[in-house]
Amino acid sequence: MAAWNGDPARRSGLAVVGGVLAVALCWPADTVLGADPQTYTTTVTPTGQAELDAAISASSSLLSLQKTHAVSPFALAGRIRNDYDRLRTALESYGYYAPAIRITVRPQGAKNAVAAASMDGTDPRLPEWLLAIPKGQAVQVTITPTRGEIFRLGRVTLVRASGDGTGPVVLNALESKALGVKAGQPAVASDVLTAGANLQSQLKEEGHALAQVDTPKAWLRPVTHTLDVEYTVRSGPVVTIGAISLSGMTRTHPAYIARRMTIHPNDLYQPSRIESARQDLAGLGVFSDVQVNDAPPLTAGRQMPLSMAFKEGKVRMVAVQGGYSTDLGGRAGVSWTHRNIFGNAERLRLTALVTGLGGSAQQGLGYDVYADLMKPDFGSRDQNLSVRVEGIRQLLYSYRQTALLVRAGVVRKLGQRWTVSFEGQAEQEHIDQMGISNDYTIVSLPLGTTYDSTGLDNPIDPATHGVRVAASVTPSASLINGMSFFTIMQANASTYFDLTHLGISRPGRSVIAVRGIVGSVQGASTFDIPPDQRLYAGGSATVRGFRYQGVGPQFDGSKYAIGGTSMDAGSVEFRQRLFRSFGGALFADAGQVGTGSRPFQGTLRVGAGAGVRYYTPIGPVRVDIAVPLNRPKRGDTWGLYLGLGETF
C-alpha cells in the first residue's frame, strides 16, 4: 500500500468501478511475454460482505481472463501485480480506504503453502519463480482481501462556482438537502456520486436548465478514517420553456399534437414535466418512438427551446385471437386495426369471431362481428369517444339470440385512478327461449365509474397490489307489447395482497386476489325483461366449475337457465410465480342468482380448482381446471378454461 508521505490529508483522484467512486493508486502492468504458457486457477477468499465480494470478483483480471488461453509466466506476473490496484479500487469504492490485499501463488496440488512452495504476488522474483515451475504444471492463485476499518464521510462541502471572481459561495439548505449524504455515513462511492447527480436533478427541476454538478473532489483523512468531499456547482439562471419544434410526423396532424401536449412555451423548465409530456404522447399508440431534447442556446428572454422528434408506428395491424372453455367452447377470429385513421390518433378496429365451437352451454355455432371507432380527446383532453356497431348470433342453452347493437359513449379520466363513462345504446334482437320467439327493441343509457389503484397500464398484466372497483347503472326501456322500464345495477371489486409484506416471499411472487360481484334489476320481474337482460352466474367470470349461465333457476326438467333479477358471487385466489416464466394458482368461487331484486338469495353454488400460468411479454397464458362442490342436476362435472391474462 502506498505511504501517506507524512501528509495527514492526501488529495485523491476519483475512479469509477461498476458505477462506483474510488480513490485509485496505479501500478504499470507487466506486459513482458515469457517463453512457455502458464495455466492457473484463481480463488478469492470471501470478506463476509456479499456485494463487496461480487465487486472484487468482477474487478479481478485474474478471474475474468483465466478461461482464456494460457499466458507466459511474465504476463501472469504482470496480471497479478495489476490486480492489486484493481482490487484496492473495488474495496475503496465500498468505503474501505485502508485495505490489505494479499495474493499468493503456489503449484497446484501442493498440500502445504510453505515458503519453498509458494510466492507472494509482490515479490520481484515472481517471474523467475514462475519460470521454474515444471512445464504443464498449473499454479493456484489465492486472493485474500482484508477490508480494514470502514471510512466515513467527514466534511461535505457544497460550493458554487460564482463566475464573478468573488470565489465560491456555500449553497443553501435546500440544495444541501437534495444531496442526500451527510457527515458520519459510510463513504460508499456510489452514494457520493449519486448525491451529485441528485443535486443536479433537483436544480434542473427548479428551472436551472443549465445546472451542472462536477465530479466531486475528495480528501482522505487516514488519522480519523474519514473522507472529505467537495461538490462544485454551476447552477445557471432559472429559465422557462421556449419554442417547441415538432418533427417526424407525416400522417399525424401537428395541430392535434400541439393541443395534446401538457407543456407549453413560458412554462417553468422542469425535466419531470417534460418527460411526463413525452410519455403521454408516446402512449397514444400512434408513435413507435418519441424523443424530446433541449435545443440550446438560451434565447434573450432566458428560454430553453425544445425539439420533439416523432417516429410514427405501423398504421395497420392484423391480429388473430382465440380462446377455449368447456362451457362456452372455442372461439376464434381475426381483427384488423387502422391506427391514426384520420390523423388525430383515431383507431378503427374490425373484428370477426366464430363462437360456440363445442361447449356444454352451447347448442351450435354463432358469430360476433363488430366495428369499433375510438376518437381520443373528444371535446376535451382525457375524454374519448367510442362507437360500436355489432352483430351477434349465439345459440346458448338458455336462449338463442340474433341481434344488432349500436352504441356510442364518452369515457373520461378523472386523475390517475378514476374513470367515468356515459353511453347511449340501441339493440334490435330476436330471441327463442323454450319454443317461444320474441322480437325486442331495447334502448338504454349506461352510466359507469371505475377506480383502479393497481398502477398497471395494461389490464392483461397481473396485479400484485391495489384495488379495482367498477360500478354501473343502466336505465333501460324494452319496446315490446307497449313499453316497460327497468334498471340494471352492477358492481364488482377486486383487491390484491402481496405476501412479501409478511416477509414470506419476494415482491410479486406470491399474491392473494379476492373478488366480489353483486347485481340487481329494479323495476321489473324476471319474465318482464328480455332473457339477455337478466342476470346469470357460472363460468370463468363468476363461478368456475359451473358452465356459463349454469348457476341459478332453471326450467323444470332441463338445463335451460331462466336467469334472475339479482346475483352475487365471490372468488379467492392464491397465485404463486414459479421460476422465471411459470406460475400456478389455487382458487375457490361461490355465487347465486335470485328471482327477487335483493341480492344474496337463491341457492349458493361453490366451485374450486387450480391452474397453471405461463408468463409472456404480452401477459400470462392461463389454464384453469375447476370442479363444482355442490353440482346441480344436469350440471357439468368439471370445467377447463384457457385464456390470456388473469380472470380478474
11 pLDDT higher than 50: no
46 secondary structure, DSSP code? -
* Average pLDDT for 160-184: 69
Phi-psi region of 617 (alpha: psi -120 to 50; beta: other; left: phi over 0): alpha
| 169 & 210 share domain | yes
| 264 & 203 share domain | no
Q: What is the DSSP string of 337-379?
A: EEETTTSSS-EEEEEEEEEEES-TTEEEEEEEEEEEEEESSSS
Q: What is the CATH number of the domain that holds 549?
A: 2.40.160.50
Give the closest residue to 235 by CA, choosing from 306, 171, 146, 303. 171
CA distance 230 to 157: 5
Domain boundary among 312, 333, 362: 312
Amino acid at 204: K
| Number of compact structural domains in the chain | 4
CB 636 within 8 A of CB 360: yes
Q: What is the DSSP string of 222-253?
A: TTTTEEEEEEEEE-----EEEEEEEES-SSS-
| 79 & 197 share domain | no
| 163 & 302 share domain | no
pLDDT value for 3: 29
Grid cell, residue 564, equals: 334472475
| 461 & 588 share domain | yes
| 89 within domain boundaries | yes
pLDDT value for 111: 53
pLDDT tens per residue across span 365-402: 999 999 999 999 998 988 999 999 999 999 999 999 99
CA distances from 163 to 158, 207, 215 (A): 16, 19, 18
| 275 & 378 share domain | no
18 pLDDT higher than 80: no
169 pLDDT higher than 60: no
| 307 within domain boundaries | yes
**Count of alpha carbons within 13 angstroms of residue 531, beta-carbon side:** 27
| 379 & 508 share domain | yes
Q: Which three-class secondary structure string do you get for 372-423? A: EEEECCCCCCCEEEEEEEEEEEEEECCCEEEEEEEEEEEEEEECCCEEEEEE
| 328 within domain boundaries | yes
| 379 & 287 share domain | no
Amino acid at 359: G
Per-residue pLDDT band for 558 (boundaries 50, 70, 90) equals confident
* Average pLDDT for 633-638: 89
Grid coordinates 472529505 are at which residue?
Answer: 228
Q: What is the CATH number of the domain that holds 250?
A: 3.10.20.310
* Average pLDDT for 327-346: 94
pLDDT value for 110: 56
| 422 within domain boundaries | yes
| 95 & 191 share domain | no
CB 545 within 8 A of CB 627: yes
| 33 within domain boundaries | no
| 499 within domain boundaries | yes
| 468 & 394 share domain | yes
pTM of the model: 0.73
Domain boundary among 81, 116, 146: 146
| 548 & 406 share domain | yes
pLDDT value for 23: 39
CA distance 71 to 65: 10
| 24 within domain boundaries | no
| 60 & 44 share domain | yes
CA distance 515 to 283: 29
pLDDT tens per residue across span 196-252: 999 999 999 999 999 999 999 999 999 999 999 999 999 899 999 999 999 999 999
pLDDT tens per residue across span 532-557: 999 999 999 999 999 999 999 999 88
* Average pLDDT for 551-578: 93
Domain boundary among 297, 312, 327: 312
Grid cell, residue 62, equals: 485474474
| 25 within domain boundaries | no
pLDDT tens per residue across span 579-624: 889 999 999 999 999 999 999 999 999 999 999 999 998 889 999 9
Residues 6+ apart with CB under 8 A from 160: 168, 169, 170, 171, 232, 233, 234, 235
CA distances from 209 to 203, 216, 264, 624, 639 (A): 8, 20, 16, 54, 61
Q: Which domain holds residue 214?
A: 152-234
* Average pLDDT for 309-336: 94
Grid cell, residue 448, equals: 359507469
